[in-house]
Structure 1
Amino acid sequence: MFASKGRLSTLLLRRWHRMLGLPRQSPPRWYRDRLREELYERRSATTHWGKVSETSDVLFSISRALYDGVPTRQLPALSRHIPAYMYMVAKYTLRWKFYRVAGGMCHAPCRESIREVINPDRDHKLLEVALRHDIDPVSFKLAAKRLRRFWPLLP
């Protein structure tokens, strides 16, 4: 779990991860591999907002690993990365809700079980999500396409 259990930011992140309810990944190496990828993308970012976005992905990778009980690194202090933490919560919450709404639009059998945060901008990702949740891929893709017209998604 999170190292410093007394910090308000840690408690809020723990509650947020519980709300997202993402499935635990296996093997544990998956978390370190994601973090390594995100750190590489962070180093490659060239614009200010690109760096904020990639930093948010790094923070998400670390906080998710800690929440799932797979220690990778400690989270940097909130005070040093307030924009990235805010961006992270907004970005992943919007994606999580996007998939649940898209599932409802195409009458998914168990909309409440849809707990995804991958970027829905790529059709092959939508197909993966549809197959994972026994949703008709064609209707799910159409619902997501309609929803993307107005749903605020952060890169």
Structure 2
Amino acid sequence: MAMTSATNALLRRFHQTLGLPQQTSASWHRARIREELKERRKANTFWDQISETSDVLFSVSRAQYDGFLLRKLPPFSASRHTLPYAYMIGKFSSRCMFYRVLAMLSGAPQAHLVREVVNPSKEAKLHEVALRHGVDPAKFIRIGHRLLKVWPLLP
């Protein structure tokens, strides 16, 4: 069964809602997809496989949303893809909101414009995000660690 227009519309709406900055390089997307496929192959547990599959789906659909058809999404199968897609939407929506709240709490100059989905449990990622948005990294990381204790994030 091919990707339905309803699935495509849902993914378009999802990426619109996240509002991530468009990446204008096919090589940027290729590197993300390659990295996620590598991590997917290493996944052993059921939940790791779901999480890594959701990352692959996200990377491929984001590339398509940004105008790069580097890979096709697999034909949708409710039994194989419902959980990874649901996981993807929950995971990346939660991360995006986490960063918006963290930016507000940290006093980012334009907190309402912060749109990020990188893994906030990695301190290096928090540091990168702080620098991108003109926030003191030490403050951003300190508040981020506190917020992580109460924020519902999927791994």
- Same fold judged by TM-score > 0.5? yes
Q: 2:27 maps to what in 1?
A: 29
Tell me whether 1:67 sits opposite 2:33 in the alignment: no
Q: In structure 2, how many angstroms separate the alpha carbons of the residues matched to 1:93 and 1:86? A: 11
- What's the offset of the Cα at 1:54? 0.4
1:98 is the counterpart of 2:95: no
Q: CA deviation at 1:78?
A: 5.2
Q: Partners of 2:129 and 2:71 in 1: how far apart?
A: 29
Q: Do structure 1's residue 131 and structure 2's residue 95 form an aligned pair?
A: no
Aligned-pair CA distance for 1:12: 1.2
Structure 2 unaligned residues grouped into runs of 5+: none
- Aligned partners of 1:130 and 1:140 also within 8 Å: yes
Q: Tell whether the 8 Å contact from 1:9 to 1:78 is kept in structure 2 after alignment.
A: no
| Same amino acid, percent of matched pairs | 51
- Runs (4+) of structure 1 exceeding 2 A deviation are none
- 1:5-84 counterparts in 2 under 5 A? 7-76=5-74, 77=76, 79=78, 80-84=80-84
**For 1:104-124, what per-residue CA distance to the aligned partner results, in whole angstroms no more than 9, with x for missing partners?**
111211011100000011111
Counterparts of 2:77 and 2:68, CA distance in 1:
20
Deviations 1:106-146 (A, max 9, x none): 12110111000000111111110000001111221121111
- SS class of match (1:150): coil
Tell me how large the CA RMSD over aligned residues is.
1.5
Contact in 2 for aligned 1:35/1:58 (Cα 8 Å)? yes
Contact 1:45 1:51 in 2 (8 A): yes
Structure 1: 5+ residue stretches without partners: none
State the TM-score, normalizing by the size of structure 2.
0.93
Partner of 1:140: 140
Number of aligned residue pairs = 152
Q: CA distance change for structure 1 residues 96 and 51 in 2, over 3 Å: closer, same or farther?
A: same
